[in-house]
Amino acid sequence: MFVRRLLSPLALASVVLLAGCQELTVANPNEPDRTRVTGQPAATEALISSSFGVWWPWAQHYYPTQVLSTVADEMTNAFADYGEVDASSEPRTAYNNSSQYTREAVNRDPWNGLHRVVSNVNDALAALSRGVPVADSLRARAVARFVQGLAHGYLALYFDSAFVVTELTDLNEAQPVLQPYSVVMDTALSELSQAIAIAQANTFSLPTPGWLYRAMTNQDLARLAHSYRARLRASVARSRSERVAVDWNQVVSDIDAGVVQDFSPQAIPEVFVDNYKRLLGRQRAGIPGDFGRIDYWLLGPADSTNGFITWVNTAVASRVRFQLRSRDRRIHPAGTPGGIGLYVGYTTTNRWADSRGTYHQTRYYFKRFGVNTAWQDSLLPALTLAEMNLLKAEALIRLNRAAEAVPLINLTRVANGQLPPVTIDGPPDVAGCVPRKVMPGALQGTCGSLWDALRYEKRIEMIGVAAVVAFADARGWQALVENSFVHLPIPGDELDVLRKPYYSHGGGQGNSAPAPDPERCPVALNRCP
C-alpha cells in the first residue's frame, strides 16, 4: 500500500513496532536508510538514470493499457487476462474495486508503480540538494524533473485523485493528502516546465542504454518534455466540457516547441519492452492477432459499404463479424478487401467464445509495429510526430483556425492512407468517402466533416502508440460507450490502508460516461450536427 511505501521506498534502516502505547525502533545495519544510500553518488545517479525505465511499464504494459484500450474501443478483446472483458462488455458495469477482485492489478499496479517512481526520484533530488556529487548534477535534475512530471501526469490521467509528494514533503510531519486529478496534473505540468528550463539552460547528453533508452541531447529532452506536456494538458479532461476548457493556445505552443521526430526508445529483451504493442501484434500457432484485435468502432467510419452502419444499427447482443471495404490503404490494398493493409490485417479466424458476446469479435488485427517478437528488440514508438500534428490540428479547430488544421490532417491521411486530401469542408463528398458519419440519426451514412476526419485520423494513427491517448481522446470527445468509467478509483487495498470505504466509477454510478455524441463539432463547420 502506497502510504506505507512512501515511508520506505529504499528499505529504511528501522522497523517500528507498535504495541499499545509503546514504540520499539530496531536498527538494522544490513538495511541502510535513505540518506545513507543516496549519500553514495553512484546510487543517487542510478535512481535517476533508471527512473524512466521504472516509469515505462505503467505507460506501455499490461496494466492498465489493455483495459483503457478496450474501453476506448481501440482494441477489442473477450479474454479476461488483464481485465479487458469485465471492463469493456456491454452494458457497462462499475469497475470492481474490491481488493479481492482477481484483476485488481488494473488499478493497483499503476497506482503503486507510479507513486514508487515519484518516491525514488524524490530521494534522488533530496540527495542532490544535500550536495551529493554526481557526474552531471544539472543533467540529473533535468531528467528527475522530467520523470517526476510524467509520473504525476499519468496518475492524473488514470485516477480520480492521487498523492502529490515532492522532495520537499516531510513525511515525518504529516501523512500526505489525496489531491484531485486537476491538482495532480498542475503539479506534473510544473515539474515538466522545470525540466524544460534546466535542459534549455545547460548542455549535456543522455547516453544509451538506460536513461531514456535512446541517445539524446539537452535540447532533445526539452523538446520531448514540451510534447509530453501537450499530451498531458489535452488528455486530462474527463468530459466534453473539460476538453473545451483546455488551454489550447498553450497546447499549440508546446507542440511548436516539441519533438521534430518520433520518440521511439530502443527495446532491450527482458529489460525494456512494450507489452501493449506485444499483445496487439501477437500471433501464435499461425493465428494472427491471437490476443487483441482492432475494434470495428475504430475502422468502421472508413467503411464504404453499409456493413458498419448495419452493425451499428443492430442490437449490441446481435452484432457479428463482417468484412468492410475501404479506400484507406492502411486497412487493405486497393481492390483486395481481404488483403493486408499498411497497418491492418484481415483474418476469418475467431479467438473468442460467442457466449462472451459476439459484439467483441472482429476480423481485423494489428500489424503496424510488427508481430510476434518484434516488440522485444525494435524501436518502440511512444510519442509520434503524427500525434503532435493531429493534436495541434484539434487545437487549431477549437481556436477557430480550422484552415490551418487542414494540412496537418492531410500529412498522414494522404501519405499513409493514400486518401484524397480534406479541405475545410471535410473529405471530398463522393461515394466511399473516408470517414462517414456513423452515429444513429439523420446524418448517418453521409460524408463526414473536418472534425470527423480529424478524429478518425488521430484514432488510426495512434493504434499501438499509447493506449491512454485513445482513452483520453474518447472521454474528451464524448465517444466512450455510455456508463464507461472516465477514470479509475483509488485501489481497494489502498483504501483498506487509509480506512476509507470502497467506491467505484462507471456502470451508471458517479463518473460514468454519458451517451456518446462524438460527431458534434466544437465550432461551426460544414456537415456538423
Which tens digits make up the pLDDT trace of 249-282? 999 999 999 999 999 999 999 999 999 999 988 8
Point out the least confidently predicted range of 27-36, 85-94, 126-135, 144-153: 27-36
Is residue 365 included in any domain, yes or no? no
**Nine-digit cell string for 337:** 478487401
pLDDT of residue 358: 98
Digit-coded pLDDT (tens) for 77-100: 999 999 999 999 999 999 999 999
Three-state DSSP at 498 gives: helix
Q: Is residue 96 part of a domain?
A: yes
In sequence order, which ranges of 369-449 are alpha helices (DSSP H)?
A: 374-377, 385-398, 402-415
CATH number for the domain that contains residue 215: 1.25.40.390
Extract the C-alpha cell encoding 330.
492502411
DSSP label at residue 266: B
Across the range 312-333, mean pLDDT stands at 98
Cell numbers standing for residue 228: 509530453
Residue 21: pLDDT above 60? no
* Higher pLDDT, residue 478 or 510: 478
Rounded to whole angstroms, the Cα distance separating 108 from 483 reads 22
167, 144 contact by CB (below 8 A): no
pLDDT of residue 24: 38
Q: How confident is the model over 27-37, as a mean pLDDT?
A: 53
Phi first, then psi: what are they for 258, rounded to 5°?
-95, -155
Structurally, how many domains does the chain consist of?
1
pLDDT at 17 over 50: no
pLDDT of residue 30: 46
Mean pLDDT of 157-164: 98
pLDDT digits (tens, 9 = 90+) for 427-447: 999 999 999 999 999 999 999
How far is the C-alpha of 115 from the C-alpha of 15, rounded, in Å?
A: 21
pLDDT band at 2 (very low <50, low <70, confident <90, very high): low
pLDDT digits (tens, 9 = 90+) for 372-406: 777 788 999 999 999 999 999 999 999 999 999 99
Distance CA(207)–CA(210), nearest Å, equals 7
pLDDT at 15: 25
515 domain residue, yes or no: no
Answer whether residue 324 is part of any domain. no
| Grid cell digits, residue 102 | 482477481
**Rama region for 511: left / alpha / beta (φ>0; ψ in -120 to 50; rest):** left
Cis peptide before 64 (omega within 30 of 0): yes
* pLDDT of 514 strictly over 80: yes
Do the beta carbons of residue 272 and residue 265 sit within 8 Å?
Answer: yes
Q: Which residues contact 500 (CB under 8 A, 6 or more apart)?
A: 490
pLDDT value at residue 509 = 87
pLDDT for res 7: 40
Does residue 34 register a pLDDT over 70?
no
Query: Which range marks the domain in which residue 494 is found?
Result: 2-274+381-498
Element (H, E) at 151: helix 137-158
Cβ neighbours, 10 Å, residue 235: 23
Task: Report the pLDDT value the prediction gives residue 461, as an integer from 0 to 100.
Answer: 98
* pLDDT of 32 above 70: no
Is residue 127 a part of any domain in this protein?
A: yes
Cell numbers 482492432 correspond to what residue? 294
Does the structure show a pLDDT above 60 at 12? Answer: no
Whole-number percent of the chain with pLDDT over 70 = 93
CB 480 within 8 A of CB 487: no
**Residue 513 CB-density burial (10 A; 0-12 exposed, 13-18 middle, 19+ buried):** buried
> For residue 470, is pLDDT > 50?
yes
Gap between the terminal Cα atoms of the chain: 48
Compute the mean pLDDT over every residue in the chain, rounded to the nearest whole number.
92
> pLDDT over 90 for what percent of the chain?
86
The reply to whether 283 falls in a domain is no
Residue partners of 212: CB distance under 8 A and separation at least 6 = 52, 143, 206, 221, 224, 265
Predicted confidence at residue 487, as pLDDT, reads 98
Q: Using alpha carbons, select from 9, 100, 54, 65 the residue that is nearest to residue 462.
A: 65
Residue at 152 is within a domain? yes
Separation CA 199–CA 222 (nearest Å): 6
Q: Locate cell 452502419: which residue?
A: 309
For strands 344-346 and 364-366, give the pairing: antiparallel
Nearest to 292 by CA among 356, 360, 235: 360
Specify whether the CB–CB gap between 332 and 317 falls below 8 A.
Answer: no
Residue 519 lies in a domain: no
pLDDT number for residue 170: 85
Which residue did the predictor score with more confidence, 272 or 19? 272
Q: Which of 291, 462, 471, 290 is nearest to 381 (CA)?
A: 462
Helix (H) or strand (E) holding 53: helix 51-55
